[in-house]
Structure 1
Amino acid sequence: MYRNNKSNLKLMRLLPRIGVICCIALLLTAAGCSRVEKAEKDDKILIGLSLDSIVVERWQRELEILVATVNELDAEIDVQIANESIDKQTEQIQYLIDKNVDVLIVVPNDANAFYDVLSEAERSGIDVIAYDRLIMHPDVDLYVSFDNVEIGRGISQRLIDELKKKTVNIPEEEIKPFKLLIINGDPKDNNSKLLNEGIYASLQEYIDAGFVTVVDEAWANEWREKIAKDLVEKYLSSGEEIDGIIAANDVLATGAIEILSKWRKAGEVLVVSQDAELSACQRIVEKTQLATAYKPIYDLASTTAKIAVSMAKGEKIIANDSIYNGYDNIPYLKLDAYVVDLDNMDNVIVKSGFHRKEDIYRNINNGK
């Protein structure tokens, strides 16, 4: 989905390089081609990577994979980390534009915050990849992420399936609605909205049937764990019962389960989330968390790095879907995620190499 003006700008950016190489070739013909080849080799593709933060475990791992893959492809990468600051991320994106990167990969703090600076990237002929989080800008060239709606649907359905088991020997007329809390992610992150859409796509028929009721719902600004803690504490301290909690990621689940443990209800209240962090996998085998969603981040990071280098070479964008980002339908490379619980922990997490078995089961029989 390359626009003609962007293709022309990319060519104009390449012309000085081509011109220099041609001049060198003419001047050094008598000396052979070795120095010309060296001039071409030294002019490597430069990828810019702008990250909101690396506080969460998965982002640290993905950063390592992105850098390693770009380097393996004989390209260079300039990494900027904004530490959850919109202003700082704006400055860092502008820095990468000024550095004349070939492709810009962005994990935005706020889907709507970078219109002006990304317009500058467009004017400079720089391709933009929205990495895992959608960016609301008309000239984003590719969105690479997982199916976030399906993740919300999957973890919610896993919770419903477990709640159904509790009603097997209860007469239908005696079944009371199960009470759920929903702890959404940061409202500035479009993935939070997609996840919430998937949650309700799964829950709505059970809400309508009176099987479950959502007693409260919160949005965790900046993905803050404290918001999860406060919501759970509010209900337990008031004497309200909770049967299940749907948390938008494992960090929020950690906060929720910490409060459940304080009230000696960890394991009794069913908790689902996403990211398959080691702590969540440990809680699942310890039976204080029901499930999490595993997103193959190696595939996400390595594929994005390869696509970025290909885009820098002017090659065709790879996508298997499209998504509307508020301005246009942009190419969307959608990857699959998997709901993980006690039954498939070894087959999914251990076999994939995402976590080691001895680490997951560390607190169970000495990890054996």
Structure 2
Amino acid sequence: MKPHRGRAVAALAAAALVLATAACGQAAQSGRQPNGGTGPPHTGGFTIGLLLPANQADRWQRFDRPLIESRVRELCSDCTVRYSPSGPDAAAQQRQLRALLTSGIDVLILGSVDSRAARPTVRGAAAAGVPVVAYDQLAKGPISGYVSYNGEEIGRLQATALLRALGSNAFRLRIVMLNGSPTDPNAADLKKGALAVLKGRVETAKRYEVLNWDPQIAYADMTAAIADLGPDRIDGVYAANDGLASGAIAALRSASVHPLPPITGQDADLAAVQRIVTGEQFMTVYKPFTPEARAAAEMAVALGRGESVEDIATGTVDNGSRRDIPSVVLEPIALTAETIDTVIRSGKYTTDQICTPDIRSACEEAGLLG
């Protein structure tokens, strides 16, 4: 029989409050298997904690959460998903994460804000027998599974699209790079993939790492780049996601730059899709949320039952704390004006959601309206 949840929670609370540094180091070496758990499987329902960022991206509440909850219900009708949103501040997420763990969960799906800052509490969770599935970002610590999209491929798709937009004389042109948050390992993968395509093909005149993927910081960085380079000397903008693209576009608009240079993005946010339709943003990267959410839910249910996730995983990753972590790493899709109807055909958005009255004429030109 599995240890009583109250005892596990008490152990976790104590471990989390003191960061459990020494004890966790011992736990990491105790022979605990990657599929998590320290006792026999649950024979009935159990509680899955779900902690996702509540940042500027519109995806978490609208897509990931309901998709994960729905798949958990399909797999385990008497399981409970206990959801907690967190802001972009790593310290706040740490507090919420500790509260969620001490409330008595059996498995955790974690979309961490700062992968390094999450490490102590992930260790505390593992020490208390609560396996962790890292979601969308590869958290540090002894996680039991990982689900996300191929970050390097996203960067390559963005950079390839940007070069196509710049044309055959791209090697003579200058771009500004607005990379993702330095606290997010996905951002490093994006940059690596983008630079593999852009290096030697364009001049990167300015490069910024935008903390917490904050559009306001992107706006300030882009404003500084315009001041240093001149409003007419920026030929393209590599923006690592749609939030950063929105900040860049606002700064370019404030500087009366017209026409706008080609600008990349990622996440296929509704506002970004509309900007692509109107020609303000050149492209975004679509990561269908359903396969990502389903894989995370399937891993969490398997872990809660004490089962291996090997049959769910399609490969393994190394997060610097543990090797050979079972993982599902999915392939993204590049979207431009020519392919923007993909998000309609896939069911992500309806035509009415995209084609609001103020951009109806642009939708007609893009062929989205019959």
Alpha-carbon offset, residue 187 of structure 1: 0.7
The residue aligned with 1:5 is: 32
Map of 2:46 onto structure 1: 45
* 1:343 equivalent in alignment to 2:343: no
Bigger proportion of residues as helix? 1
Alignment gaps of 5+ in structure 1: 18-39, 168-174, 207-211
Mapped partners of 2:302, 2:272: distance in 1: 36
Q: Name the residue aligned to 1:324.
A: 318
Q: Which residue of 2 is the match for residue 143 of structure 1?
A: 146
Mean Cα deviation higher: 5-14 or 153-162:
5-14
Identify unmatched segments of 5+ residues in structure 2: 1-29, 364-368
Distance 1:323 1:313 in 2: 23
Equivalent residue of 1:216, what SS? strand
Partner of 1:234: 224
* Whole-angstrom distance in 1 between the partners of 2:34 and 2:137: 25
Alpha-carbon distance in 2 for matches of 1:8, 1:220: 34
Distance, in Å, in 2 between the alignment partners of 1:52 and 1:130 is 12
State the aligned residue count. 325
Tell me the CA shift for residue 361 of structure 1: 3.1
1:97 to 97, 101, 117: 101
Q: Give the aligned partner of residue 201 of structure 1.
A: 196
CA contact (8 A) 2:35 2:308 kept: no
1:306 maps onto 2:312 in alignment: no
Q: Percent identity?
A: 29
Pair 1:204–1:55, CA change in 2 (3 A): closer
Contact 1:9/1:124 (<8 A) preserved: no
Distance 2:333 2:212 in 1: 25
CA shift, 1:252, in A, is: 0.8
Aligned to 1:65: 67
For residues 206-225 of structure 1, the aligned pairs below 5 Å read 206=201, 212-225=202-215
Q: Does 1:248 align with 2:251?
A: no
Structural RMSD (CA): 2.4
Whose radius of gyration is greater, 1 or 2? Answer: 1
* Secondary structure, aligned partner of 2:32: helix
Counterpart residue identity of residue 136, structure 1: K
| 2:145 maps to amino acid | L
Alignment TM-score, normalising by the size of structure 2: 0.81
Residue in 2 that maps onto 1:170? none
| 1:97/1:124 contact within 8 Å kept | no
Question: In structure 1, what is the equivalent of residue 274 of structure 2?
Answer: 282
User: Which AA in structure 1 matches 2:360?
Assistant: I
Deviation at 1:213, TM superposition (A): 0.2
Question: Would you say 1:365 and 2:361 are equivalent positions?
Answer: yes
| CA deviation after TM superposition for structure 1 residue 319, in Å | 1.6
What TM-score results when the alignment is normalised by the length of structure 1?
0.81
Matched, 1:163 2:166: yes
Deviation at 1:253, TM superposition (A): 0.4
Structure 1 residues 191 and 8, CA gap change in structure 2 (3 angstroms): closer
